[in-house]
Amino acid sequence: MDIKKTDAYTLIKSTEDSVKEFVDCFKQNYLQLSEKHIIIDFSEKINTEIKDLLLFLKISSKHRTNGYSFVIICNGIEIDDIPDEINVVPTFTEALDILEMDAIERDLGF
């Protein structure tokens, strides 16, 4: 797991062989990551499927409930098949846009 922290968010890229391994590693490190907005970048993972992304459902919901954004970057996924509790976008730029939109929603009390 490759972690890059900025003032606004934490960007995490998978270096593990499978999404399941990454999720296990992520869960072990979550407490150190939980106080920032999180962007997980799977754009370089070729075989990421919807079932892999659903492994983040509980974490995403918890993170968003705590007032932080949780976004996954993944190419080739049908966005309409993803539950609303998980933000999945195809590019890093769109992930940053989600962070901004979430901040506006929090400011407006949604």
CB 41 within 8 A of CB 92: yes
Amino acid 79: pLDDT: 84
Amino acid 76: pLDDT: 84
d(CA 36, CA 47): 28
DSSP per-residue string spanning 44-73: T-TT--HHHHGGGHHHHHHHHHTT--EEEE
What single-letter amino acid sits at 55?
A: L
Amino acid 80: pLDDT: 87
Domain boundaries, the chain: 2-108
Amino acid 47: pLDDT: 78
CATH number of 2-108: 3.30.750.24
Amino acid 56: pLDDT: 93
For every one of its 110 residues, what pLDDT tens digit does the chain have, with 9 covering 90 and above? 999 999 999 999 998 888 889 999 999 999 998 899 999 999 887 778 899 999 999 999 999 999 999 999 998 888 888 988 899 999 999 999 999 999 999 889 87
CB 100 within 8 A of CB 89: no
Amino acid 78: pLDDT: 86
The residues that bridge with 88 in the sheet, in sequence order, are 72
